[in-house]
Amino acid sequence: MRKKPEILGRKLGLEFQDSALFTMALTHRSATARNNERLEFLGDAVLGFVIAQQLYEQFPEASEGVLSRLRAGLVNQQSLAALARKLDLGNYLLLGSGELKSGGYRRDSILSDALEAIMGAIVLDQGVEACRQWILNLFAEDLAALTLDNWRKDPKTQLQELMQSRQLELPEYTLVSLSGQNHEQLFKVQCRVAMLEQPCFGSGTSRKKAEQAAAEQALAALHKEQA
């Protein structure tokens, strides 16, 4: 099952000064205490930043909300796991025996965490610019395929159009709670969709924002069901 990290490193174009960092990035918490959880925390942060700056520069006309949705579409557990599979990451992971038996090396969360941990290891070993180049290279195809067309529409509109196209009832939004005072209020909204058993929730500093957030959750849940 498990192949040597050096082979993966060569394939990924990575040469670590501190090869223990790379090994740690490939080590799941089920294997040992010296695992990739801390590196994943760092990798998640550098990935979010690198993609944010790339999108900022690539789409000078996009609003903050659109940039945010573009990033959420590019960087999520599923997309990261798909990239990890392309890199054959599963074959290089160090897992505990339980996870090994239950096929942990195929699991989205484990693959995506390890990929983020590799990014964290690159930042520490080679600095942020090297890491940026590696990330942009990894996402090159996805970034090149991005257009604003699908993202100009806000989630509520997207969800409504989806329901209409399937001739289903329109989503139903209900305010479930309101907390905080004056300008710091937090609205929480529930969104019920014909195709989902469970309602979805969203919060925001206005009812409209909370509804958009709930619609986004519903879109994500529908997307997951189709996958």
Tokens at residue 14, please?
A: 């990575």
Q: Is 211 among the catalytic positions?
A: no
Are the CB atoms for 131 and 139 separated by under 8 Å? no
163 in contact with its own copies (CB under 8 A): no
Choices 8-16, 18-26, 151-159, 179-187; region in contact with its own copies by CB under 8 A: 179-187
Q: What track of x and - describes contact with its own copies for positions 55 through 94 (by CB under 8 A)?
A: -x-----xxx--xx--------------------------
The least CB distance from residue 8 to its own copies, in Å, is 22
- Cα separation values, 206 from 89, 102, 114, 157, Å: 42, 44, 36, 17
* Of residues 126, 161, 103, 137, the one with CA closest to residue 19: 126
Catalytic site residue 141? no
* Per CB under 8 A, 101 contacts its own copies: no
Q: State the catalytic residues.
A: 44, 116
* Interacting residues with its own copies (CB under 8 A): 37-38, 40-42, 44-46, 48-49, 52-53, 56, 62-64, 67-68, 107-109, 120, 123-124, 128-129, 177, 179-180, 183-184, 188, 198-199, 201, 205, 221, 224
